[in-house]
Structure 1
Amino acid sequence: MTLEFYARGLEKAKQKDYIAAIEEFNQAIQENPDFTDAYIERGLAYYYSGATLQGVFDYNEAIKLDGENAKAYYFRALAKLDLKNLSGCLEDVEKAIQFKLHHGAVYDLLGTVKRKQGNLPEAIANFKKATELYLAAKDKDNAQQCLEKIKQLQPKSPPQANPEIQKPVKVISTQDYFRQLLDKAENGDTIEALADLNWILTADSQDVYAYCCRGVVYCKVGNYRDAISDFNQAIKLNFQDAIVYRNRGKARSHLGDHQGALADINKALEMQPEDVLVYISRGNIYQSMGNYLAAIQDYSQAININPEHPLAYYNRGISHTCLEEMSNAVADYQKAASIYCEQEDWKNYQQVLNSLQKIQSSLPETTKATYNLLRQRLLRMVGGHWEIAERLIQQKKDFFPGMTEQWYLQKVIDDLERDRR
């Protein structure tokens, strides 16, 4: 009966009825607790049904029964990759090779692990070995996929004439590898960065770091819908990091979903309450909503955490400008310019100087003080929401065309005070 249960389990698994397959393998193991292959196949059924950790327990049992079972090591390596345990995956796949499991899929998996660790030369070598074995087995589809992986990993520049004098390639960590891709995008090479990330996700559709990284690059190029899709996928794969929520909030804000954006930023703040960039991001959302007082509060909090962060000063200066608080805006712009100058960030330094020049010439000196006072007074009367004030001003312009901006401000204030009385 043991073999009958086992055979029925294989048939159910072939039909992708994994729950029924697990039940059949349970019966086989109950009759024969030393049935190694039943543990392996039940582990596979667990793996394909999404219960990866339960699958690892079965592979462990199979290895206890047969310490040189190459298949058990290989399948456990697949499960560990799914659980983001790269070191454990590498150890198991090397064991599978040690115990003579010479199949294209084994070297394909080894190449994927080496690529994730940033060891690109070894990744290429293993993908080449996998290609050879796939071709020997007449598996042209998988062989072609490995060739595509090799093509993506190979350096773009031609090799040196004498390979013997080439410098050894430095092995980098997975995080450093993705950091390099983000730096590439930041320096303007977004097309190549996206191509690399697309390949990574073709090779491993469960790579949460790649989804997060590609989402950031999509934000960089203004493709906010695709960015949100990638951040959603990273979250579905249980990648819990503030960077995902912060950048998804940024993308949602650009698409006009300000409340959703604030929900994401607040989630990021729960995870990293001392992150300057999260406060700046929330300030940017408030600023885009016209809630300049709330924006200033967040930028100020970012400055409390890091008094030398130029972007916090610059963005706070923009909010002060929107409130016509010119002296505060000038002070923030000057501080931001000073920091950018010390950092020798000349592009942003010039941008701040341009902003300074604009506000200094925006209003005549004779009317600036009165205009500022009226604007601030109205802003406080509407609870800091300038979009409300703008609608009220536009209503007065519709009824009384041709008047000065100062007249409209005073008219709205007078009407509000009358209504409140």
Structure 2
Amino acid sequence: MLLTITKYMLFKINTLSQLFLLVLILLNCTSQRKKDAADFFLKGNQALNQKNYAEALRLYDEAIAKNADFSDAYLNKGITLLKLGRTNDAHEILSEAIRIDPTLVQANLVRAEASLNLGRLNDAKADLEQIEKEYKDSTRFHLVKGNLLDAQGNSSQAIPEYDRALQLSKTNIEAYVNRGAVYYRMGSYTEARLDFETAVALDPAQPQALNNLGLIASRNHQWQQAIAYFDQVLSRDPSEPYSLNNKGYALLQSGKPEEAKVLIERSLEKLPENGYALRNLGMYYQQKGSTQEALKSFNKAIDIAEPVELLYGLAGQAYHAQKNMAEACRIWKQGVVLKDSLAIAEAGKYCR
């Protein structure tokens, strides 16, 4: 699962399970329908491996139509639905696979990932606990467990799970990216950078790691280097909303506000509820002296009720520019409670 943590919009990999391309062995099977089901299943696996998800889904449905108790076909159909972003449907299909065959522990692992993506943390925990003995030496299991612990707010406990995942597989790119994201949020930027760089060494086009390296460069005010990282993501996916917004922020800091505004607005077209992009749009208007427009964007971001660094400090500054000290101090004091560093500094200066 791709985690979003950020000064500018850092994210983790959205954990979709690797393919379980299970080979069906038909022993003493004389049923033509079951043989046909097996053929459709194997063809579905081939399509899934080729990332032809629509065709894979059709073939698994054909297999299930021939054999309604074909648990492996339900499992791989569930994986396909996850790849298509149909997480609720995937969860239902995986539950059916488990109902048909309670020993099919692969389905519990994939369903745990689906539950995690849906925010059903207790369900994910129950599935992982059920299969922990069988999966104690699985890099995937420890990756998903680390993601769950992080989602539960236990980031320090997530790190050893990512460590174990990487001990079991030195090429688990998701574990490097997700451990790096946790290190970043904990303020361990050197460790985070090393994890992201390792992920890029394994896959030079890895978008999350490239984006996050751009964020570290941004923290160091290395704006051109940051832009170069974001451009690597955008060269392959020009509409990727996080890197669009992050590049926009870097351009704002580089004296190129009009270019920045274009990218930030494109990001908001893709993700209208992106609090960081709304904050950055407010910063653009603040730079242009359009205080009322800035406040509209800041207040939209505040209404989303997600943590956005510096947001309350900036909103208070906009009210201060309007000489509305009562509202400025109200916003800054809210920011103090939320540990907004700019709000803390401004409240200490102006509000008694």
Q: TM-score range by the shorter chain?
A: 0.5 to 0.7
Equivalent residue, structure 2, for 1:288? none
The answer to whether structure 1 residue 296 and structure 2 residue 289 are counterparts is yes
The answer to whether structure 1 residue 221 and structure 2 residue 255 are counterparts is no
Greater RCO structure (CA 8 Å; 6+ sep): 2
* Structure-2 separation of matches of 1:79 and 1:202: 29
Equivalent residue, structure 1, for 2:96? 61
The one of 17, 35, 38 equivalent to 1:7 is: 38
Equivalent residue, structure 1, for 2:164? 128
Q: Retained in 1: the 8 A contact 2:196–2:213?
A: yes
Report Cα offsets for 1:235-292 as digits up to 9, x if no partner.
Answer: 96776xxxx76543233456786544223445659756996664233343xxxxxxxx
* Structure-2 separation of matches of 1:74 and 1:247: 34
Report Cα offsets for 1:315-364 as digits up to 9, x if no partner.
Answer: 99xxxxxxxxxxxxxxxxxxxxxx969748xxxxxxxxxxxxxxxxxxxx
Matches within 5 A, 1:238-317: 247-253=246-252, 258-266=257-265, 271=273, 278-284=281-287, 295-298=288-291
Give me the identity figure in percent.
Answer: 16
TM-score scaled by length of structure 1 = 0.46
Equivalent residue, structure 1, for 2:73? 38
- Larger helix share, 1 or 2: 1
Matches within 5 A, 1:103-252: 103-113=137-147, 116-117=150-151, 118-121=154-157, 123-124=159-160, 127-128=163-164, 131=167, 134=168, 142=169, 144-145=170-171, 178-181=184-187, 191-198=190-197, 214-219=213-218, 220-222=221-223, 223=225, 224-229=227-232, 247-252=246-251
Structure 1: unaligned runs, 5 residues or longer: 135-141, 155-173, 185-189, 285-294, 317-338, 345-421
Deviation at 1:147, TM superposition (A): 12
Matches within 5 A, 1:267-416: 271=273, 278-284=281-287, 295-298=288-291, 343=348
The answer to whether structure 1 residue 94 and structure 2 residue 125 are counterparts is no
- One-letter code of the match for 1:262? K
* Structure-1 separation of matches of 2:118 and 2:202: 15
* Structure-2 separation of matches of 1:196 and 1:45: 29
- One-letter code of the match for 2:99? K
* Structure-2 separation of matches of 1:113 and 1:262: 34
Deviation at 1:74, TM superposition (A): 1.4
Q: Retained in 1: the 8 A contact 2:139–2:166?
A: yes
* Structure-2 separation of matches of 1:281 and 1:29: 54
Equivalent residue, structure 2, for 1:29? 64
Cα distance 1:254–1:229, how it changes in 2: closer, same or farther (>3 A)?
Answer: farther
* Structure-1 separation of matches of 2:290 and 2:95: 54
* Structure-2 separation of matches of 1:342 and 1:48: 47
Q: Retained in 2: the 8 A contact 1:265–1:282?
A: no
* Structure-1 separation of matches of 2:157 and 2:286: 44
Cα distance 1:124–1:60, how it changes in 2: closer, same or farther (>3 A)?
Answer: same
Report Cα offsets for 1:378-404 as digits up to 9, x if no partner.
Answer: xxxxxxxxxxxxxxxxxxxxxxxxxxx
Structure 2: unaligned runs, 5 residues or longer: 1-31, 300-311, 323-343
* Structure-2 separation of matches of 1:90 and 1:63: 16
* Structure-1 separation of matches of 2:162 and 2:313: 49
TM-score scaled by length of structure 2 = 0.53
SS at 2:290 equivalent: helix
Bigger CA radius of gyration:
1
SS at 1:296 equivalent: coil
Deviation at 1:96, TM superposition (A): 2.6
Q: Retained in 1: the 8 A contact 2:75–2:94?
A: yes
Equivalent residue, structure 2, for 1:72? 107
* Structure-2 separation of matches of 1:34 and 1:266: 49
Q: Retained in 2: the 8 A contact 1:43–1:59?
A: yes
Q: Retained in 1: the 8 A contact 2:111–2:127?
A: yes
Deviation at 1:62, TM superposition (A): 1.0
